[in-house]
Amino acid sequence: MQNFLDDKLFKALFFIMSVGLFIQLAGKTFYSSSSANGVHVYLLLILPSLILVVGAGLKKKNFLSSEAIFFLTATGFFLFFCSLSAAWSDTNESVAYVLRKSLVIMLYLFGVIYLVTVATWQQIKTFLIFLCYISALGAVISLGYQLLVLDESLGWRTFRIYSMGYKGWIDIGYPVIAGIYFGFFAVLTVVLLGLREESKLQNLLLLVAILVMLPYIFQTFSRTSWVAGALAVVYLTAVYRHHTIFALGIVFGIACVVMGVIFYDEIVVELTKKQLSGRPIIWIWTLGEFLNHPVVGHGFDHSFWPEKPFAHAHNFFLQVMFEQGLVGLFFFLAMLSSVFVAVWKHRKARWVLASFSLVVYILVAMQVEIQHVITRPGLFWTVFWFPLALVMGLVNRVYFNQAEQSEI
């Protein structure tokens, strides 16, 4: 697919979109204003993606495999039905408005898949490595400012971090989401470390990046990110099966045991009293409301349990059932299934199999926290849409590499 870049238009779009994607993924560290970040993402990523799709159509250039097409088709049906469901919801957002947001997400997916498909391996790895470094830097700055300037103390629920605490910089908005956000980059760093394709210095820096993100993730007290991250690392251990990841797992295990001893009383309270923070009650209520409108649901962004201070179902699968019913759930599962099938088909490609750990991570996180995925450029693009697009982009490049080799 490198010949795709022989065309001056597609080559220019490649570099512009690469900058736009980096801004979108690392924006929480670079920007104090979400609106400014969003504008730059639209100008440098979404608009060029639109030009890419139109240009590829006019020039009859195809950069999508059958697996990528199936994924994008299933995603399109899911997004379209979610948009359509705004018609029978009590939301203030119109069908046209949600459709526009859905179109932007589709262009984002096209853009990421294109970038991953035509980039070289070294470009992909360098891009992801710098993202991990920027994330680690954001975690260090945030935690350092909280501890050294704002005089917070590191300990069990002494405070829950979600921002730097200075003029809106590195502000994720909520501790649980902050844990999921930085946990995502921690898992991505483990993926890169496990590949063993970089120099010893680079691997050391990646290890340092993981170690500096862990205290931040711990201090968010986002149990969702803890469990999701642990399961993703277990998956990676099974995929890589080499001493680096095993050693990392042992270190994490020892750290957990030490923390368990130090914070024994606090952990007992968490397990016996706080447990799932009332989420089973929310899940039962959501299932009951789903049964009132089981086929097409209550509609997009429908008001959730007005009598209680709960904004969503704390389980994305239940949220889809509540808002879009069985029809929406079918399209959503079709979208996820397309990723599973594609990964299984190309499971001999190590990058594909390793990157699927990011999907494992978000699937676990979705059981408890992720609420909406049809949003403007922001956090949920990073922790939900990007992993799916990255995996499908890697599947896509494997497909075309195999096709090109078969023609030789």
Whole-number Å distance between alpha carbons of 121 and 117: 10
Mean pLDDT calculated for residue range 142-146: 87
pLDDT for 43 equals 94
C-alpha distances in angstroms, 309 versus 164, 179, 298, 313?
A: 27, 22, 19, 11
Closest CA to 253 of 272, 275, 237, 273: 237
Q: Is the pLDDT of residue 215 over 50?
A: yes
Any idea which residue has 């022989």 for tokens?
6
Q: What is the mean pLDDT of the chain?
A: 84
pLDDT for 72 equals 96
Q: Is the pLDDT of residue 167 over 90?
A: no
pLDDT for 403 equals 54
Whole-number percent of the chain with pLDDT over 90:
37
Q: Is the pLDDT of residue 97 over 80?
A: yes
Collect all residues with Cβ–Cβ distance below 8 Å to 131 and sequence separation of at least 6: 22, 25, 26, 185, 188
Whole-number percent of the chain with pLDDT over 70:
88
Q: Out of 24-38, 80-94, 117-131, which region has the weakest mean confidence (pLDDT)?
A: 24-38
Number of helices and strands in the chain (H, E) = 16, 0
pLDDT tens, position by position, 225-271: 888 888 898 888 888 777 667 777 777 777 777 766 776 666 666 65
pLDDT for 408 equals 31
| pTM tops 0.85, yes or no | yes
How many structural domains are present in the chain? Answer: 1
Closest CA to 111 of 19, 44, 26, 17: 17
Q: Out of 78-82, 125-129, 309-313, which region has the weakest mean confidence (pLDDT)?
A: 309-313
The helix-helix angle for 386-407 and 316-345 (nearest 10°) equals: 20
Q: Which two tokens stand for residue 12?
A: 């220019």
Q: What are phi and psi of 134, to 5 degrees?
A: -65, -40
pLDDT tens, position by position, 315-370: 888 889 999 999 999 999 999 999 999 999 998 888 899 999 999 999 988 877 66
pLDDT tens, position by position, 186-214: 999 999 988 766 677 888 888 899 988 98
Q: What are phi and psi of 298, to 5 degrees?
A: -85, -15
Closest CA to 385 of 114, 191, 110: 110
Q: Is the pLDDT of residue 1 over 60?
A: no
Residue 367 near residue 223 (C-beta atoms within 8 A): no
Q: Is the pLDDT of residue 124 over 70?
A: yes
Q: Is the pLDDT of residue 158 over 90?
A: no
Whole-number Å distance between alpha carbons of 319 and 286: 8
DSSP one-letter string for 290-349: HHHSTTT-S-TT----TTTT--S-SSHHHHHHHHHHHHHHHHHHHHHHHHHHHHHHTTTS
Provide the residue range defining the domain that includes 64.
2-407
